[in-house]
Every structure is written in structure tokens, then in C-alpha cells.
Amino acid sequence: MAPPLARQHLIDPEVCIRCNTCEAACPRGAITHDRNNYVVRYEDCTGSGDCLPPCPTGAIDSWRQVLKPWTVEEQLGWSALPADQSHGEPLAGDVPADVEALTARATATSGHVPPPWSAAHPYVGLYSPEGPAEATVVGNLRLTSDDSDSDIRHLVLDFGRVAFPVLEGQTVGIIPPGLDAHGRPHNVRLYSVASPRDGERPRHNNLALTVKRVVSDRDGKPAHGVASNYLCDLTRGARVQVTGPYGSSFLMPNHPGARLLMICTGTGAAPMRAMTERRRRRLPLNEGGDILLFFGARSPHELPYHGPLMKLPGALIDVDLAYSRAPGRPKEYVQDRMRARGDDVLRHVLDDDCFVYVCGHKRMEEGVTEALRDLCRARGVDWDARRDVMKREGRFHIETY
Ligand SMILES: Cc1cc2nc3c(=O)[nH]c(=O)nc-3n(C[C@H](O)[C@H](O)[C@H](O)COP(=O)(O)OP(=O)(O)OC[C@H]3O[C@@H](n4cnc5c(N)ncnc54)[C@H](O)[C@@H]3O)c2cc1C
Ligand code: SF4
């Protein structure tokens, strides 16, 4: 009888861009890295699936059937994934329960939320850290008011004669110059494209990013974000190394009449701006399909694109803003505004031609999910079941960081 096999979660070192997204997303600390590779510790991986959707390259979605799980030390030495050891045999009946759970959960939650059925085909990974594209900064505009301690920038990168095709919802990687504390090149940092596919300036080979300067860590302690400070300080004419594009799921539908429900905070506005601008430029075509946007920030002065957003026609978009620290106004988060607009939210969520996008701070995810669950429950709808259907149909997309 063939010896029992286990299914092991691994990371493909040939595809991984060492961006650290998976390690930050794993609730169990099962992902670790050294100067060579990002790897998954077999004993600690419970199969929560949290690391899979955020990985921009798909390197994380690698699996092997093994006789004996590979150790961290072995994985750190790889330059390519080893072969599967199954030789076609099925998994043995005595595979540990956690491995079965991992497999089932990974299938249900893996990065395989498909794109909307009518999305355009994205180009992915045209430029790697070893062979990045070079772009020129042609604009760097502060979006937040000068007296605000939040510095968010609208950065425009021009690719000249280098092909860098992107779709709304995709991200690009930025390689900060210099070396990290270990003397090796910095990890790639990801930024959402904030302009539509035909460019920030139509028919020019350029794109826009929305970058927040990181001056404190997630606990509020002072910190100097390597890539964000580098980007925010760039002046016109500077050259930037760009990888990507990445992302083949968080894309917008192309068919007329598709509804969009967008929920975002802070720089999570970037992909929403790209999609809205795409729709705005196509308004004369009368393709229909409304947009409902919930957008949260501390105050109007810290809400990127506040001015232009307020000038968009009501026929294009219904904008609902939540401020958590605006003087003279009650403290509100996006989920509070969603609850206040429950009927409108439900109209979107229950429409089979509605596509939902959530982007921004990681901590918004829970509040938004709770609001959707409560709103659905009050109308006799099971949100979790509804969400699973929407995910399977490529109609529910989350990108939080
Ligand atoms: C899919 C995806 C899309 C993203 N899109 C955007 C975008 O459109 N605009 C944008 O500004 N950022 C975006 N980010 C975040 C971005 O990739 C960087 O993580 C962020 O700019 C910080 O990088 P840094 O090099 O400046 O900080 P680092 O030098 O990497 O970190 C410095 C310190 O800041 C903490 N830190 C890291 N990231 C954040 C953060 N976002 N907020 C607060 N503290 C942080 C770290 O824990 C560390 O202590 C995105 C991330 C992902 C995964
Ligand atoms: S998220 Fe994907 S690309 Fe980034 S380090 Fe993890 S496996 Fe590599």
C-alpha cells in the first residue's frame, strides 16, 4: 500500500516578489521569511485562507502532496518548488484533520474569487523586480490640506515608450531605491492604480497612484515608511522603478447596466476613483448602471479627491461620506452610513447585476461585514450565504491593507 500523503501549502519562489503581504495577512504567524524566500510553516498553518486573496502574484497559491512536510529550513533554501510526491495517488485516509480543513478552506476562500464575468483581460506580472519598468514622475500633488497631519499624494507616472497596460482595480509594485537593514534590495510595495485604463491623461502612457505618507506604525508609534516617504518626496522628472501590473480579480465589469457598490477609506479610494473615472468618461454612451459609494476619512480635509468627488454628477454616482473626527459633526464610520442607507445598500446587494468592492484600512473589514450581515438579517437574508454566491460569481471583492 502506498504511504500516506499530506497536502502542504507552499510559496513558489520563482513567482514571489517578496512583498510581505502574506506574512502581514496570516493571523497565525505561519508565514516567515529570510533574505532568500517567503515560506509557510506547516505546523502553524491552520488553513484560515487569509493569506491567499491578498497575494498579488499567486505565488502563495502553491500546493504539493508530500510524504513528509518540507521544513522551513528546507523551503528557505529553494530557488524553485520541488515536484509533487504523489505520483497520482490520492491523499491517504489518515491525513490529519487540519490538512483536510486547510484544503477545504483554501478551495472555498482561495484567491480564486473570479473577476466579474465581463471584465477585460488583465496583463499581470509584465515587469519583475529583476526587470522593472522605469517611469518618470510627471506630477505630485498633495491631496490633503497643508495643516492636516495626514499627507496623501496624487502621483502621476509616465511610462514614455514602455508598454505598461493596466485596468482599474489593479496594483503596481514600487521598488524603493537603496538597501534594507540586511543590505539587500527593499521589498516591493504595492499601490493601487487610481486612474482608468486609458491613463490619467487620456491617450497618454501614464497612470496615477494615491499614496499616503507613513509616519507611524499601526500602533501609532513614530515610524518612517520607506516606500511611501520616498514616493511622497519625489519631484517632477524623477525616475521610478515599477513592477507589475498585479491583480486579476479586483476588476470592474465592462457590460452596460452593471451596478457598483463601493466602500472605502483613505487611500482605498484609489481603485474606486479609477472605476468611477472610467464610467465618467463613458457617460455620453448612456450605458447605465448606477454607483453607490461609501467613503470614510477623519475629516473632509483628509478625504482624498474630496473636491472633484463632490462635483461628479448625481446621474453617475451617489456619494455618502463618513467622518470620524470632523468638528461639529457626529463621529461616523462607513458602516454607520451604510446602516443609515440600509434600503439602498440592500437594493444593491440583492441585485444579481451588482458588483461590490471594499478597499482601505484592514480594520474597516469587520464593521462593514457586520453592517451587511445585520442589514440582510433584518430582511430575512443570510448575508454569509449571499456573500459566498457573490464571491463565486466574481461580484464581491475586498482589498484591505
Ligand atoms: C494590495 C495593496 C494595495 C495597496 N495600495 C495602496 C495605495 O493605493 N496607497 C497607499 O498609500 N498604500 C497602499 N498599500 C500599502 C503600501 O503597499 C505600503 O504598505 C505602505 O505605503 C507602507 O509602506 P512603507 O514602505 O512606507 O512602510 P514600511 O517601511 O514598509 O513600514 C514602516 C512601518 O509602518 C507600518 N505600516 C506599513 N504599512 C502601513 C500602512 N498602510 N499604514 C500604517 N502603517 C503601516 C509598518 O508596520 C512599519 O512599522 C497597499 C498595500 C496592498 C497590500
Ligand atoms: S504575498 Fe505573494 S508575492 Fe508577496 S511575499 Fe507573499 S507569496 Fe510572495
Average pLDDT of the chain is: 91
20 lines ligand 2 (CB under 6 A): yes
Pairing assessment for the beta strands 259-265 and 291-297 based on DSSP bridges: parallel
**How many Å apart are CA 304 and CA 310, to the nearest integer?**
11
| Half-sphere exposure (Cβ direction) of 221: Cα atoms closer than 13 Å | 1
Mutate to test the pocket of ligand 2, among 10, 22, 63, 248 (most ligand atoms within 8 A of CB): 22
Average pLDDT on 127-138 reads: 96
For the chain, the distance separating the N- and C-terminal CA atoms, rounded to the nearest angstrom, is: 47
CA–centroid distance, 400 to ligand 1, in Å, is 11
Can you tell me which atom of ligand 1 is nearest the CA of 230? 26
Domain co-membership, 385 together with 282 = yes
One domain for residues 293 and 355: yes
Q: Quote the CA–CA distance of 143 and 87 in Å, as a whole number.
A: 57
- The answer to whether residue 110 scores a pLDDT higher than 70 is no
Of the residues 186, 213, 246, the one at which a domain ends = 246
CATH of the domain at 265: 3.40.50.80
Residues 205, 277, single domain; the answer is no
- Residue identifier of the C-alpha nearest atom 5 of ligand 2: 18
User: What's the gap in Å between 332 CA and the centre of ligand 1?
Assistant: 24
pLDDT in tens, 21-67: 899 889 899 999 998 899 999 999 988 888 988 888 889 999 999 99
Asked if residue 95 has pLDDT above 50, the reply is no
Kindly report, residue by residue over 253-278, the tens digit of the pLDDT: 999 999 999 999 999 999 999 999 99
Q: What is the pLDDT of residues 234-255, one digit of tens each?
A: 999 999 999 999 999 999 999 9
- Supply the range of the domain harboring residue 91: 6-109
Question: Is the pLDDT assigned to residue 101 strictly greater than 80?
Answer: no
Does residue 119 belong to any structural domain of this protein?
no
Q: Are 396 and 390 in contact (CB under 8 A)?
A: yes
| 185 DSSP 8-state letter | B
- pLDDT for residue 362: 87
What is the SS3 assignment for 229? helix
Which residues does ligand 1 sit against, CB inside 6 Å? Answer: 21, 54, 171, 189-192, 210-212, 214, 217-218, 223, 225-229, 267, 270, 399, 401
Which ligand gives the minimal distance to the CA of 17?
2
Residues 305 and 357 in one domain: yes
In this predicted model, what pLDDT tens digit does every residue of 298-346 receive, in sequence order?
999 999 999 999 999 999 999 999 999 988 889 999 999 999 999 999 9
Total number of domains constituting the chain: 3
> How do beta strands 354-360 and 396-400 pair?
parallel
70, 10 contact by CB (below 8 A): yes
Q: How far is the CA of 380 from the centre of ligand 1 (A)?
A: 39
Say which ligand is closest to the CA of 18: 2
Residue 268 CB burial class (10 angstroms; 0-12, 13-18, ≥19): buried
Any idea which residue has 464575468 for its cell?
Answer: 117
Pair (159, 201) in one structural domain: yes
For residue 280, pLDDT beyond 70: yes
Could you identify the atom of ligand 2 that is nearest to the CA of residue 17?
3
Candidate from 60, 168, 218, 228 with most ligand 1 atoms within 8 A of CB, to mutate: 228
Amino acid letter at 238? A
Nearest ligand by distance to the CA of 172:
1
Burial class (CB in 10 A: 0-12, 13-18, 19+), 236: exposed
Q: Are residues 290 and 315 in the same domain?
A: yes
Report the pLDDT value the prediction gives residue 87, as an integer from 0 to 100.
64
**Do residues 275 and 387 both lie within one domain?**
yes
Same domain? For 195 and 302 the reply is no
Q: Whose CA is nearest to atom 53 of ligand 1?
A: 401
CATH number at residue 17: 3.30.70.20
Is residue 121 included in any domain, yes or no?
A: no
Query: Whose atoms come closest to the Cα of 175: which ligand?
Result: 1
Residue 315 exposure: Cα atoms within 13 Å on the Cβ side: 8
- What atom in ligand 1 is closest to the CA of residue 212? 11
What pTM was computed for the model?
0.89
